[in-house]
Amino acid sequence: MNLKSIIFFAGTLFLVLTMSLNSCYYDNEAYLYSGGNCTDTTYTYTGRIKAIVDQNCATADCHAGVSPSSNIGLETYDDVVNNMENGEFLCTIYQNSGCNPMPKNASKLDACTLDAFAKWKERGYPEN
């Protein structure tokens, strides 16, 4: 095989591989905005929701402690359910118009995380 044949073969192989990888692309919001990991189907407070709230909301400088921000505590199951029920919680984490976007000074939660809250609500807020 001469150099031209090797270069032609390598170029053709590269083109075929590139085209085959691009042909599998599809727009899926949950995949695109979550790092592609929407496999966690746990929709209970202790199984998933609490960890998300603790990490993003119920921190010492936000919605926890003796003087939570905006007088909204999110440290307990009942706190979170009450705020979900009044609609304010979902409005803020979805960053809907007219709501104070949360988490404050941070990126919007990914689609899989937001979906977990919606599914938790649909299932009647199971605790365990």
Per-residue pLDDT for the chain (128 aa), expressed as one digit of tens each?
788 878 877 777 666 555 555 444 444 444 444 444 578 889 999 999 999 999 999 998 899 999 999 999 999 999 999 999 988 899 999 999 999 999 998 999 999 999 999 999 999 999 99
**Integer Cα distance of 4 and 128 in angstroms:** 66
Q: How far is CA 103 from CA 15, 17, 21, 23, 127, in A?
A: 44, 41, 36, 36, 23
Q: Is the pTM of this model over 0.85?
A: no
Cβ(89)–Cβ(49) below 8 Å: no
DSSP 46: I
How many helices (H) and strands (E) are present in the chain, helices listed first?
6, 0
Residue by residue, DSSP assigns 56-71 as HTSSTTTT-SSS-GGG
Q: What pLDDT sits at residue 30?
A: 42
Q: What pLDDT sits at residue 10?
A: 73
Cβ(80)–Cβ(89) below 8 Å: yes
